[in-house]
Structure 1
């Protein structure tokens, strides 16, 4: 009897210990130097509780529209149209000019059968000048062909009566824009007397590569970076996203590696997804992983966890003013928003089609209470079975005695 009591005591203690044991890997903080900030040590457990820094919103037919991004609509760009209408090309070093003086072939070098117009033309030197017979050096950089024509005609009038002058650009080499990144044919695009826009440059470069993030391309001009959405421009017809390119502009199309969505929890195939060019809704994300696990998931607990980006400068300011914040008992800023969708009724998946995913969203499906209990039981079963076998063996031994 005494042995049986001891056995039961050991069994009970082991069961309690097993119940406290959690599955998976573990790291112990014992013996390690745990660093705490001053605010954490002063404020205690309250500020370290992540639950107080999370906002939770329920996705219903009435609320989902509040979280939907404003749809891009087709818009004209009268400012760009006006700029293109007034566009003029200004000559620069490296350009080649064709200058023709009518009725004076001795002043016009013909291209001939073996020389192109660019080979026989007048090269603009690095100092922005060309040399022309009779009149000598002519400053052409920064001028239009009309201005150059008028100046050459005026200076030739001393030697030729009423000269008829024609000037055009045989080769555009002074100005160029650059298209880089996820483009089929990245490289430079010459800027000519025909206005070059972002859309023109992308098309001339062979279009977008399969992995292009067309919602976040950048235009860098004079060290200033601007984000442009080709999705809005090309898919939705928002012409306000288009720009007239200038010399030295850089268009960069990034990869869509940053367009990540993490789907975890009680789904059939947890994995990382990429938002494609047309976007992704919550329902699409769930369907891409085979849906929820109908046997183990809690259909009322489909969550989207979306981090709130903190401005670095503001964060540093908050840390510097931590003492004032503590004095005023102001709560710390939230770090995430959580959106909950209840799909107990499968028709609620229609609501999910109206909720757009954003990069680095986390879709998490919780386990049903019975599933969590079954997991605890599955952990305890080997221990209980082992002690049952041990108890039976001890009882058999006592009976033999």
Structure 2
């Protein structure tokens, strides 16, 4: 048997290279057909589920579910049939992330959320609103007491009666209430005055001095308010201690005496700490609801903190022109449309306007995912009225063509390398 010639060997090798190239082309084609499934990058992966039989027609009132992305345009204006349960979807669960229903954003849902916030705000105002109380004397207060026709009693105050305080922390001239809440006055002795009003102290002094003087005429006035204080902290121009005086300390009064709001203040997020509990106050919603913040009176020992706007930012990610941490306005309000505007709007070349999501409450035990189909101009009206909450995440998904292009970008170097190897071998 003769050995094969050199030309026959070359033909055999060339045939093998062509077979390898064909096999490689088949593999590449299969990979391209499955591009959407293996596309790299961030995207919201959802799965369809069957809604329960008692689900509401709009899909979000009972179970918080929504129509699938393919049916989104029809579901926005069409009613579900009586014999077919509406479809819904959830985010795909994993070991670290539970399965979460996706709620469709529409005008009815936005109105429902706004009404719920207003009702909660009114309930909070009613709980914190108290009738203004008259100032009561406490430890550290300084009283100015005059007994008419008896100037010798004024000598009990000492030489400071006619001298101004040299330091801001020095008490004004007068009679100081000690830490036990007691007041010592000539001839009257020691009286417990803590918790009394000035007119009540005046009556007690008159009764005590009547044992030594005939119809004594006594005048009692506050010389220095030092017993009761509130604390104003955060984004105000002059944070610190604010003394409570005979004028009832309303919420506006406390902020005004602290210099007013700073430019970085979030007027929708004021934290009032009272009795070991923290109450969040939203001035913007109160004014929008027709509730006057002057009804809120601070009590001695209260702490009022004005939160900065950059602490209540939201995150805008995905296919937007400028991923950003969006900051609320000075009123503290930021809507979905505001966040997208700060991010430079969606990327017209890569974004899928039908797949816009808002992820909320990831750490409070009740996470929520909202979906908005932004292809309709009406959807932008919903985005303009949908208020975001601090630390919300706005995510805009990419379209299928972008994901397919990303797969090609990864495959082309491998294809080129295979063709180069084939040419070299041939």
TM-score by length of 1: 0.75
* Conserved? CA contact 1:178–1:250, under 8 Å: yes
Question: In the alignment, which residue of structure 1 is the partner of 2:131?
Answer: 83
Q: Write the distance in 2 (CA, Å) between the matches of 1:301 and 1:24.
A: 15
Instruction: Tell whether 2:269 aligns with 1:222.
Output: no
Comparing both chains, which one has the higher relative contact order based on Cα–Cα distances under 8 Å and sequence gaps of 6 or more? 1
Deviations 1:99-122 (A, max 9, x none): 111122222359776457964311
Which residue of 319, 325, 337 maps to 2:368?
337
Q: 1:17 Cα deviation (Å)?
A: 8.0
Query: What secondary structure does 2:395 align onto?
Result: strand
CA RMSD of aligned residues (A): 3.6
2: CA distance between counterparts of 1:133 and 1:66? 67
Q: Kindly indicate whether residue 149 of structure 2 is the aligned counterpart of residue 99 of structure 1.
A: no
Deviations 1:266-301 (A, max 9, x none): 111112212232412212221211111111222222
* 3-state DSSP of counterpart to 1:338: strand
Aligned to 2:178: 125
Which of residues 247, 264, 280 is equivalent to 1:211? 264
Query: Is the 2:101–2:368 contact (alpha carbons within 8 Å) kept by the matching residues of 1?
Result: yes
User: Would you say 1:393 and 2:424 are equivalent positions?
Assistant: yes
Contact 1:233 1:241 in 2 (8 A): no
Q: Could you report, residue by residue, the CA deviation over 1:230-268 in whole angstroms, capped at 9, with x for unpaired residues? A: 334466552368432222221122333442222111111
Q: Aligned to 1:372, what secondary structure does the other structure show?
A: helix
Matches within 5 A, 1:264-303: 264-276=317-329, 277-303=331-357
The aligned residue for residue 312 of structure 2 is 259
Q: 1:48 to 1:115 in 2, by over 3 A?
A: closer
Counterpart in 1 of 2:360? 306
Cα displacement (A) at 1:217? 1.9
Please report how far the alpha carbon of residue 157 of structure 1 lies from its aligned counterpart in structure 2 after TM superposition.
1.3
State whether residues 268 and 332 of structure 2, in contact with CA within 8 Å, keep that contact through their aligned partners in structure 1: no
Label 1:308 to 1:80 Cα distance change in 2 as closer, same or farther (>3 A): closer
Residue 305 (structure 1) shift = 2.4
Bigger shift: residues 47-56 or 222-231: 47-56
1:180 aligned to 2:233?
Answer: yes
Residue number among 378, 388, 391 corresponding to 1:357 in the alignment = 388
Cα gap change, 1:310 to 1:171, in 2 (>3 Å)? closer
Q: 1:241 to 1:220 in 2, by over 3 A?
A: farther
How far apart are the structure 2 equivalents of 1:287 and 1:307?
A: 23
Displacement of 1:150: 1.1
User: 1:108 aligned to 2:154?
Assistant: yes
8 A contact 2:175–2:183 mirrored in 1: yes
- Report the Cα distance in structure 2 between the residues aligned to 1:61 and 1:383, rounded to whole angstroms: 49
How many pairs does the alignment contain? 350
- After superposition, give the CA deviation of every residue in 1:139-194 in whole Å (9 maximum; x if it has no partner): 22222211211111112112211111111111111111111122211111111122
| C-alpha contact 1:135 1:156 (8 A) present in aligned 2 | yes
The structure-2 alpha-carbon separation of the partners of 1:154 and 1:244, relative to structure 1 and needing over 3 Å to count, comes to same
Partner of 2:248: 195
Alpha-carbon distance between aligned partners in 1 of 2:353 and 2:38, rounded to the nearest angstrom: 27
Q: Which residue of 1 aligns with 2:199?
A: 146
Distance 1:2 1:158, change over 3 A: closer
Name the structure 2 match of 1:367. 398
2:7 corresponds in structure 1 to none
CA shift in 2, pair 1:136/1:278, >3 Å: closer
Taking structure 1 as reference, are residues 216 and 145 closer, same or farther at Cα in structure 2, changes over 3 Å only?
Answer: same
Where structure 2 has 5 or more consecutive residues not aligned to the other structure, the ranges are 1-14, 43-91
What is the correspondence of 1:67-82 to structure 2 with a 5 Å cutoff?
Answer: 67-68=113-114, 70=116, 72=118
CA–CA distance in structure 2, aligned partners of residues 52 and 143 of structure 1: 59
Partners of 1:346 and 1:9 in 2: CA distance:
48
Is residue 281–residue 355 contact of structure 1 (8 Å, CA) maintained in 2? yes
Give the whole-Å Cα distance in 2 for the aligned partners of 1:307 and 1:202.
30
Aligned residues of 2:252 and 2:293 also touching (Cα < 8 A): no
